């Protein structure tokens, strides 16, 4: 049988953002998957250089609406490291609470959307109904449902009192109870397990070779979590488990997220019980010295990296962002090999793609028509003057 090139996207019901995949298929079997990224490249990294450090907090959370807290958290971390700014302990705990609420709603969003990708509309509706409770909690703490604008340089913007803490506890305990039911559905429902088990295998060796991060890596049985390996804020003091599954298929990647929701609820409850008293932010620092800093956090989709180079003053000289989907998309091309066309949405959903965050562009030489990428060494030479990588 001849090999057909099946074009998937940039407009397709299974894709919630514009991105194109070219699949080489032999009948129903996928032989090769070639991603084509860059449809929604917004030039945010360049825009960072033209705005002040304080304005950039609000720009950074617009990289991704769903995991906006993770972005501001990493951004303020990188600024605080560059400027050697101290954060009060209460703010650190509050940051953890909001970051984990963010993880909760992001995982719920994905698991609901994937249920819909498999045609399971009921599960989609029910999960998104319960996600709404988490969104209400985010609104209660930060004043906004989605874009929270909560973290700021040197602390957080709002405090919580005991009434709010009690309400959060009450809602989370209820969500935990309901989520145990959903976990049972994800583990036992015959149609779900048939569609996801053994589909999109990513062996641990391949996972490490292609540098995948977050739940995709943990779904391949590799115990890796920035919160544990390189604790930031107060994750070092909070007891929690790193969830791993070793079946290496799409089901494992979904189950990692299902279990992480339960872990996140426990983290928030622990943080609420051990919330220290004190101030929530230091006076705002607007000017940074000449410095280079690096920060990484565990965003809902995996390791999120910010690299700042400041030449002093109010604006950054260069700010590099590496979002988790950018790391995972190469791993996904391995998962597609040998699977069927009908499995494409399920596998694509299992990496929790966020295309708008990861879009990069290619540099094209107009005279020769050649397109090329800059290697990391060239980027270092170009942007990181005076410091060695």
Partner 1 sequence: MTPLELLIFITQTLVFPGFAYLFLLALFTEWYVRKLAARFENRLGPTYTGPHGLLQPLADFVKLLFKEEIELKYADNALINGTLIILPALFIAALFVIPWLGFSLVSFEGDLILVILLTGISSGLLYAIGWFSKNPYSVVGAVRAISQYLAFDIPLFILLLVPAVITNSLSISTISHKLWPSLLANPWLIPVWALSLGLVILVEQAELEENPFSIPHAEQEIVAGYFVEISGRRLAFYDLARDMQILLAGSLIGVTFLGLTWNPRSPLEAALNFIIVLAETLLVIFELVLIKCVTARLRIDQVLEAFWTYVIPLSIFILSIAIIVKGGLFPWV
C-beta closer to partner 1: residue 302 or 345:
345
C-beta closer to partner 1: residue 64 or 123:
123
Question: Does 174 help bind partner 1 (rule: CB under 8 A)?
Answer: no
Instruction: Write down the least CB distance from residue 102 to partner 1, Å.
Output: 24
Task: Please give the Cα distance from 352 to 373 (Å, whole number).
Answer: 25
Instruction: Write down the least CB distance from residue 111 to partner 1, Å.
Output: 12
C-beta closer to partner 1: residue 47 or 341:
341
Residues 82, 316: contact at Cβ < 8 Å? no
Residues 29-68 that bind partner 1 (CB under 8 A): none
Question: Does 186 help bind partner 1 (rule: CB under 8 A)?
Answer: no
Instruction: Write down the least CB distance from residue 186 to partner 1, Å.
Output: 11
Secondary structure in 3-state letters for 338-382: CCEHHHHHHHHHHCCCCHHHHCCCCEEECCCCEEECCCHHHHHHH
Is residue 51 packed enough to be buried (19+ CB in 10 Å), middle (13-18) or exposed (0-12)? Answer: middle
User: Total residues at the site for partner 1 (CB under 8 A)?
Assistant: 27
From 64, 91, 117, 334, residue interacting with partner 1 (rule: CB under 8 A)? 117
Question: Does 184 help bind partner 1 (rule: CB under 8 A)?
Answer: no
Residues 261, 186: contact at Cβ < 8 Å? no
C-beta closer to partner 1: residue 78 or 114:
114
Task: Please give the Cα distance from 186 to 195 (Å, whole number).
Answer: 11
Tell me which residue of 275, 333, 326 sits closest to 299, measured CA to CA: 326
Q: Of the ranges 273-281, 285-293, 342-350, 379-387, which one interacts with partner 1 (CB under 8 A)?
A: 342-350
Q: Dig out the tokens for 16 from the structure.
A: 């919630």
- The contact mask relative to partner 1 for 218-257 (x = CB under 8 A, - = no) is ----------------------------------------
Cα separation values, 346 from 33, 325, 335, Å: 15, 16, 11
From 47, 240, 340, 380, residue interacting with partner 1 (rule: CB under 8 A)? 340
* HSE toward the beta carbon, residue 348, CA cutoff 13 A: 26
Question: Does 125 help bind partner 1 (rule: CB under 8 A)?
Answer: yes
Residues 82, 291: contact at Cβ < 8 Å? yes
- The one-character DSSP state at 281 is B
From 187, 284, 342, 364, residue interacting with partner 1 (rule: CB under 8 A)? 342
Instruction: Write down the least CB distance from residue 349 to partner 1, Å.
Output: 9
Instruction: Write down the least CB distance from residue 356 to partner 1, Å.
Output: 20
Residue 226 C-alpha from the chain's centroid: 12
| Binding site residues, partner 1, CB under 8 A | 12-14, 28, 115-123, 125-126, 129, 189, 191-192, 194-195, 340-345
């Amino acid at each position: 049988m001849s090999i057909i090139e099946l074009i998937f996207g940039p407009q397709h019901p299974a894709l919630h953002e514009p991105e194109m995949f070219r699949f080489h298929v032999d009948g129903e079997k996928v032989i090769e998957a070639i991603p084509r990224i860059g449809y929604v490249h917004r030039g945010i990294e360049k825009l960072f250089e033209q705005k002040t450090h304080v304005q950039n907090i609000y720009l950074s959370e617009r990289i991704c609406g769903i995991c906006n807290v993770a972005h501001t958290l990493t951004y303020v971390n990188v600024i605080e490291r560059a400027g050697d700014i101290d954060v009060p302990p209460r703010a650190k705990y509050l940051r953890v609470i909001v970051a984990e609420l963010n993880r909760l709603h992001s995982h719920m969003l994905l698991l609901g959307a994937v249920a819909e990708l498999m045609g399971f509309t009921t599960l989609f509706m029910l999960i998104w109904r319960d996600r709404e409770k988490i969104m209400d909690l985010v609104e209660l703490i930060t004043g906004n449902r989605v874009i929270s604008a909560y973290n700021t340089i040197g602390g957080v913007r709002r405090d919580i009192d005991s009434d709010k803490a009690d309400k959060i506890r009450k809602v989370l305990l209820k969500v935990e109870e309901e989520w145990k039911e959903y976990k049972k559905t994800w583990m036992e429902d015959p149609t779900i397990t048939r569609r996801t088990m053994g589909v999109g295998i990513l062996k641990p060796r391949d996972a490490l070779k292609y540098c995948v991060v977050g739940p995709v890596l943990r779904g391949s049985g590799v115990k890796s979590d920035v919160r544990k390996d390189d604790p930031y804020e107060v994750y070092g003091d909070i007891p929690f488990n790193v969830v791993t599954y070793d079946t290496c298929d799409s089901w494992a990647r979904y189950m990692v997220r299902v279990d992480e929701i339960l872990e996140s609820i426990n983290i928030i409850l622990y943080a609420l019980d051990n919330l220290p008293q004190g101030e929530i932010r230091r006076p705002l620092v607007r000017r940074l010295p000449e410095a280079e800093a690096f920060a990484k956090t565990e965003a809902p989709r995996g390791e999120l990296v910010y690299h700042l180079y400041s030449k002093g003053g109010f604006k950054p000289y260069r700010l590099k962002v590496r979002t988790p989907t950018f790391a995972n998309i190469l791993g996904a091309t391995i998962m597609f090999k040998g699977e069927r066309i009908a499995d494409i949405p399920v596998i694509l959903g299992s990496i929790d793609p966020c295309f708008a965050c990861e879009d990069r562009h290619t540099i094209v030489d107009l005279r020769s028509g050649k397109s090329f990428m800059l290697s990391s060494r060239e980027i270092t030479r170009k942007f990181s003057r005076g410091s060695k990588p």
